[in-house]
Each structure stands twice: as C-alpha cells, then as structure tokens.
Amino acid sequence: MPRYVHVPTEATPHLIRQAYEAGGPYQWAREAWRNSEESGASTIFFGIEEQAAADLGVLRRTIMDDGSGMAPDDLRTFLTTFGGGGKPIGVDGNFGQGFKSSVLPWNPYGVVVISYSDDQPDGAMLWIYRDSQGNYALKEWSVYDEDDEYVGQTDVVVPFDDPDHGCDWGAIRPSWLKTGTIMVLLGMTFDSDTWMGDQDPSRTEGVDGLVRYLNGRLLTVPERAGKPIETTVVDLYRKGPTDRRDTKDKTVTLPSGDAMVWRPRRVYGLRHYIPKTAVTGTVQLDPHGTTAEWFYVPEPDSPVAGGQDYITQRPVITVDYQGEAYHSDTTKGRYRQFGITDEIMGRTWLILHPPVYSDSKPTDWGVLTQASRHILISKGGLELPWEDWGDAFYASFPEKLAQARDDARAKTSTASDPNMSKHLARILDRLNPRFKASRVLSSAAGRLLGHPTGQMAGSPARKGGERGKGPARGGGSGGTTGTRHILAPAASGGMTGTSQTVKAGYPAFDWKNFDADEAKHLAMFDRNDSLTVDGFKSNGVVWLNSKHPVFLQEFSYWADQVWPKADPAKVTELVKRVYGEEAVAHVVHAQRLNGLVVAKGDDGAPVLLGREDVEDLLAHTPLSAALLGLVNVEQRILTQGGGLFGSRANN
C-alpha cells in the first residue's frame, strides 16, 4: 500500500492559524452561515446564550439552525479533520477547513457543538478546545455505568446540566429546532463574552459590523420552500432606568441587576439594498461569459434602500462567486477603471459575474477562491483581470449611464474651451510624427487578442462638424475613425488583431476641485473617461486640481504681479489652458512609449515598456511631479499673455 501524504497533529494549529490570518473579519460568520445553509436549514439564528447571561453575566454568541443535523461520527469528522467537513472537496466546492480555521484561534477555551438529528433526537454534544501544547482536541468526559462504576472516556455526550458554565446545554435548544445544530462560542476563558465576535485588536468585531458584513457578503438570501432563509442576528443594548416604555424584545437581567434587551436584526443580502427604481442593464465583458450587471439610481431616490444594516451605506462594485459578494469596493479608483466617473459613482452599483473555475472543466477559464475564502483568483493563480474588465465595460458603456454622467457633469462643470481641440491638435501634431502610437488593430488574420476600445482606425478622420453630429455612443469612443477596431490587448480578448503604428486620439483636460483624499495631487489621468469638445470626443481626460496651492500661487502670480491691469479671470484662464495642454502632452508622450524597446537583456531579448509601465508613469504622483518647475510653461504663458494683455508690469 502506498504511503499517503498527511498532516502531523503538531502542524495542524499552524495551518489553522495561517488560514485564520488569511481570512478577514467575520469570516467565521460566513462559514457558519454557509454550513447551516448547506444543511437544509430554513432558519439560521445568531443568538446569545441566555442561561449563562442570567446566572453568570457571561454573554456567549450562539449559532443555531434547523437543518438536518449531524450524527456523532459526522460531528467528530467535522470538528477534528482539517480538510474534511463531510462535503465534497474541490476548487469550486468546499475546502473542509473554513469554520475551524476562522473560529478556533479566538475560542481556545472551546467551541461546543450540539446536533439533533432524526437518529439522535436527544442530541449529541462535542467540545473542541486548544490544549496546553497548542493542539486542538475534543474534550473527554468520564463514563459510569448504572452502578456508578467507571467505564471509560468519551468525547460525545448527550447535552447535560453544567452549573460550572452556568447552563444546561440541553436547554439551549429552542422550540423551533426539531433537527439542527447549535454552536456555542466560549472564547478565551469560561467567562468570556463572545457575543460581539472576535476581539483581536486587529479585528475588534461588533454586532453592527457582523450584520452589515452578512448583508454585504450574501448577494441574496436563498429560498427554502418558497421563502428566504430566515437569518437573524441578535444584538444587545442596556435598558436604561429612564426608558418610558417596555420593549417587545426579550429582556434578560444580569446578576449585576442590569437589564439587557435582546434585539433581533434580519439579514437580507446585498441585492435587497439596491432600490427598485434603479435603471439597470448588462454588459458582456469577455468571451468566457463574464458579464457586468449595472444599476443606476436616479435622483431624488436614495442610492441605497432599506435601513442601516447594509455594509457600507453606499453602492459598490463587487464580484459574484456562487451567490456571495467578493472584492466589494467603493473607491474612486475601482469605479474609474470602468469609466464610472466621480459624478455618478455614488449612485451606481456594479455586480460582475465571471464563470466559476471547475475541476470538471480544467481547460476553461474561470475564477475560484483561495482556501481562506476571503479573495478570488483566476485560473492559473492570477489576479482578477480588473483592467480588462474595466476596458471592456467602458468600450460598451451603457448609454443611460453616459447620459447620467453627462447630466451630472453639466451641473458641476464649467463650459470647456471651444478652442481646446484646435490648441491640442496643434501641439500634439508636433509630437505625433515623432512619437506615433503602437496600436492593435482588428484583423481576421491577426494573432493578438484584445477587446474593442470603441475607437476605429484605418481611414482618415472626418473633418468639420460631421464628426460631432448625433449623440455620443458608449464611453470610450473618440480618436480616429475608420473601418478597423482599435483593440485593448488582453489574453481574454474576443477579437484578433495585429500591431500597427497609427495616429490615435488624444485626451482632453479640465479643472475641478479635488476631494480631500486626492487633494495632494496636481493632476490625475482617467483613461476611461471622455469629454466632448468642439464636436470631438476625447480619448481620456486629464483632471487638474484647481485648488492646489501650487496652482493657486501660479494664478496669483500672473494675475497680481505680471498683468495686474488685466481681467484676473482671463489671466487665470490662460494659465489653466497652458498647464492643461502641458499635462495632455505628458500623457500623450507616455502613451506613445507603449511597446518601446529600451534595452536588450543578457539573453538578447528586447526589454519593452509595456502598458503597466505606462500606467506607472501616468499615476497621480508622477504626473503631478511632471507639472512642477516647468520653465517652458512659464515662457509660453508669458509669450501668449503678452499678445493678450500687453507687457508685464515689472518690465
């Protein structure tokens, strides 16, 4: 018989600890909920054990369900086998370690599990704890016969009265639980309060966070017999002596005399908080079947429906994996990747639905969870293709979202300079012959894969007003026109193409007040954004910070010291235009470097500047640094201003 790989007992605590650290706050709640749901439960109850509260003043978190329950042998397997919970194990299924690794490290005194099944109607109870050597073991009880003679030890008992711990374990069972499982979290010691969750300083969980976590982690609460699984979390608050009316919620008096009110809070899932009035649609992101489901909530409706139990109280971008939300993000950076600008991100929800990678289809692309079930990766252990997804969404940007963006922007933005396109074209025409763009153009015979960007190439652009006719479609259109698509290179792309040098479109620029979290930057480039100026739709937008001290000093210097007799608004307009043109030139030059050979390696292979390198050059900090100490900008302002405002005052 071959020798099989196994995990030594002394190694198990380290594996559990590693998995615990890899998981995030409240991971134990997700694991417990999922176990209960998979057991067929219609009720899942995160309660608080009442007997120990009344007798000892100890507030222990319990987790109960009315599922099918577990037999004693299954209980042993569930609690003592790292990598085996009685369910199939696979990359797209259960790993058999989630609950144990997420709950045992912060409950070393123990976790009591009591299960009732058709075969064990009186219940079977086990207690797992961490021993003095740091290993996890099942607590054992002495067994005596009817003559009170010692028989031996057992790790499975019928629930019993336990005055030392302030409860009768059998009396925890509620009337609605015929079959099912009860878990009691005991914490660090026999008198630990665990009702708020893991109190490790790096996590410091609480009931508000627990409820919001579950509402944000579950996309929807599945149905059982035509009704959503009733998921409830019990919260506590102290009943003050000045309360004028009694509560309908249960009240328990602690030994100290304090009255604690048991307040139930329901879990509904993330979708419950997307308002029914939202405009919605779906965009295909790649040939593997990944789709993006978007929701935009128009004014004056609140962008988040329901009460205060939603995880962030604002919309998110998230990834759906088997009905759970992963990588939920509310940051501007994530929204901007998809062309969802600052003006509308606070009203826009985005749920991505990639295919699930499965052992049964090993050649198909998909996503899967790491063992901690805290993050997703894609086939091959790679990060999720956020850039590709964002570019594909922007290339097919929904018209209703674009209209909402333009309407919101019209309320907050000043009118763009109608001559911007002429100024930029004149400046950039000097760059284009020297720094032409390397682009992937669609070709049936091509070998490169990519997503259509919404731009076309292959024939000269139309002149004059024809180009500006009609409403703008999509979010990324702009640049040249023609018969061939300009592709964004991506291994997951659905079109083939070839690399060619073309004259591409250019960004526009505009000024605005940056929010506090970005106020330190002079400029930002958003490639998945656009402005329509003089009938031309830009290929990205450079935003400049109109309130940055560096620019305020520039405005003041030119208006107050150089041309004090001129209209200061006109002077500031000139300064803004020249700095904007300079910023666009930096961006265009950097984009032209994509694919540039900068050296040869020791093996003779060329070293190229790629897309990520270009994005590094165009990040907020380097782009801001590029706008400091520009002697040529000062000279251009002086030359152009001389023609507009006359000689400088200090000449």
pLDDT digits (tens, 9 = 90+) for 492-521: 677 787 766 555 568 889 999 999 999 999
Per residue in 153-199, pLDDT tens? 999 999 999 999 999 999 999 999 999 999 999 999 999 999 999 99
Predicted confidence (pLDDT) at residue 93 exceeds the cutoff of 80: no
What is the pLDDT confidence band of residue 413, given thresholds at 50, 70 and 90? low
What is the pLDDT confidence band of residue 83, given thresholds at 50, 70 and 90? low
**How many C-beta atoms lie closer than 10 Å to residue 145's C-beta?**
8
Indicate whether 456 belongs to any domain: no
Q: Rg for the chain (alpha carbons), in Å?
A: 32
Q: Which H or E run contains 99?
A: helix 98-103
Specify the pLDDT at position 426. 67
Per-residue H/E/C for 449-481: EEEEEEEEECCCCCCHHHHHCCCCCCCCCCCCC
Using CA atoms, how far apart are residues 44 and 37, in angstroms rounded to an integer?
8
Give the structural domain span for 538. Answer: 507-651
Indicate whether 448 belongs to any domain: no
Indicate whether 458 belongs to any domain: no
Indicate whether 339 belongs to any domain: yes
Indicate whether 131 belongs to any domain: yes
Q: Identify whether residues 227 and 276 lie together within a single domain.
A: no
Q: Of the residues 402, 426, 448, which one is the last residue of a structural domain?
A: 402
Specify the pLDDT at position 471. 33
Q: Once rounded to an integer, what is the mean pLDDT over residues 540-546? A: 95
Could you give the 3-state DSSP secondary structure of residue 561?
A: helix
Predicted confidence (pLDDT) at residue 484 exceeds the cutoff of 80: no
Beta strands in 13-110 (DSSP E): 43-48, 61-65
Q: Identify whether residues 227 and 285 lie together within a single domain.
A: no
Strands 43-48 and 230-238: parallel
Residues with Cβ within 8 Å of residue 275, at least 6 apart in sequence: 297, 301, 302, 303, 304, 305
What is the pLDDT confidence band of residue 476, given thresholds at 50, 70 and 90? very low
Specify the pLDDT at position 475. 44
Indicate whether 651 belongs to any domain: yes
Could you give the 3-state DSSP secondary structure of residue 186?
A: coil
Using CA atoms, how far apart are residues 44 and 183, in angstroms rounded to an integer?
11
Could you give the 3-state DSSP secondary structure of residue 76?
A: helix
Helix, strand, coil share (%) of the chain residues, nearest 5: 30, 25, 45
Percent with pLDDT over 70 in the chain: 82
Predicted confidence (pLDDT) at residue 472 exceeds the cutoff of 50: no
Specify the pLDDT at position 5. 65
Predicted confidence (pLDDT) at residue 482 exceeds the cutoff of 70: no
Q: Identify whether residues 107 and 227 lie together within a single domain.
A: yes
Strands 180-185 and 348-353: unpaired
Specify the pLDDT at position 289. 95
Using CA atoms, how far apart are residues 372 and 20, in angstroms rounded to an integer?
7
Q: Give me 618's structure tokens.
A: 């165009």
- pLDDT-wise least confident of 39-43, 379-383, 398-402: 379-383
Specify the pLDDT at position 205. 94
| Nearest by Cα to 641 from 556, 558, 560, 565 | 558
Give whichever of 89-103, 263-277, 405-419 has the largest mean pLDDT. 263-277
Specify the pLDDT at position 646. 84
CATH code, domain carrying 79: 3.30.565
Q: What angle do CA 358, 360, 364 make, to 5 degrees?
A: 60
Q: Give me 7's structure tokens.
A: 């995990």
Q: Identify whether residues 298 and 175 lie together within a single domain.
A: no
Q: Once rounded to an integer, what is the mean pLDDT over residues 471-495? A: 55
Q: Which amino acid is at 183?
A: M
Specify the pLDDT at position 14. 80
Strands 317-321 and 348-353: parallel
Using CA atoms, how far apart are residues 478 and 466, in angstroms rounded to an integer?
14
Predicted confidence (pLDDT) at residue 595 exceeds the cutoff of 80: no
Tokens 């805290």 found at? 374
Q: Of the residues 380, 402, 424, which one is the last residue of a structural domain?
A: 402
Q: Identify whether residues 201 and 296 lie together within a single domain.
A: no
Q: Which residues of 584-597 are buried (b: 16+ CB within 10 A; e: fewer)?
A: bbbbbebbbbbbee
Predicted confidence (pLDDT) at residue 579 exceeds the cutoff of 80: yes
Specify the pLDDT at position 469. 35
Measured CA distances, 27 to 49, 203, 540, 558 (Å): 21, 11, 39, 57
Write down the mean pLDDT value for the chain: 85
Predicted confidence (pLDDT) at residue 108 exceeds the cutoff of 90: yes
Residues with Cβ within 8 Å of residue 220, at least 6 apart in sequence: 228, 269, 270, 271, 272, 323
- pLDDT-wise least confident of 206-210, 358-362, 512-516, 594-598: 594-598
The larger pLDDT score, comparing residue 82 to residue 203, is at 203
Q: Identify whether residues 37 and 141 lie together within a single domain.
A: yes
The larger pLDDT score, comparing residue 33 to residue 88, is at 33
Specify the pLDDT at position 420. 67
What is the pLDDT confidence band of residue 151, given thresholds at 50, 70 and 90? confident
Specify the pLDDT at position 409. 85
Q: Once rounded to an integer, what is the mean pLDDT over residues 115-124? A: 94
| Nearest by Cα to 527 from 456, 634, 619 | 619
Q: Which residues of 360-381 are buried (b: 16+ CB within 10 A; e: fewer)?
A: eeeeebbbbbebbbbebebbee
Indicate whether 58 belongs to any domain: yes
Specify the pLDDT at position 470. 34
Using CA atoms, how far apart are residues 638 and 648, in angstroms rounded to an integer?
8
Bin 210: left if φ > 0, else alpha if -120 < ψ < 50, else beta.
Answer: alpha
Strands 180-185 and 111-116: antiparallel
Looking at residue 89, the DSSP 8-state letter turns out to be B
Using CA atoms, how far apart are residues 60 and 208, in angstroms rounded to an integer?
17
Q: Identify whether residues 188 and 277 lie together within a single domain.
A: no
Per residue in 289-333, pLDDT tens? 999 999 999 999 999 997 666 555 789 999 999 999 999 999 999
Residues with Cβ within 8 Å of residue 641, at least 6 apart in sequence: 558, 562, 563, 571, 574, 648
Predicted confidence (pLDDT) at residue 200 exceeds the cutoff of 60: yes
- pLDDT-wise least confident of 434-443, 454-463, 551-560, 636-645: 454-463
Q: Identify whether residues 225 and 279 lie together within a single domain.
A: no
Q: Identify whether residues 76 and 203 lie together within a single domain.
A: yes
Burial of 196 (0-12, 13-18, 19+ CB in 10 A): middle
Residues with Cβ within 8 Å of residue 638, at least 6 apart in sequence: 562, 648
| 264, 248 Cβ separation under 8 angstroms | no
Specify the pLDDT at position 463. 35
Indicate whether 253 belongs to any domain: no
Q: Identify whether residues 391 and 527 lie together within a single domain.
A: no
Q: Identify whether residues 32 and 135 lie together within a single domain.
A: yes
Count how many domains the chain has.
3
| 128, 76 Cβ separation under 8 angstroms | no
Q: Of the residues 384, 402, 420, which one is the last residue of a structural domain?
A: 402
| 231, 266 Cβ separation under 8 angstroms | yes
Bin 466: left if φ > 0, else alpha if -120 < ψ < 50, else beta.
Answer: alpha
Residues with Cβ within 8 Å of residue 292, at least 6 apart in sequence: 282, 283, 285, 338, 350, 351, 352, 353, 389, 393
| 230, 268 Cβ separation under 8 angstroms | no
What is the pLDDT confidence band of residue 647, given thresholds at 50, 70 and 90? confident
Q: Identify whether residues 25 and 170 lie together within a single domain.
A: yes
Q: Once rounded to an integer, what is the mean pLDDT over residues 547-558? A: 96
Strands 495-502 and 508-512: unpaired
Specify the pLDDT at position 462. 38
**How many C-beta atoms lie closer than 10 Å to residue 644's C-beta?**
13
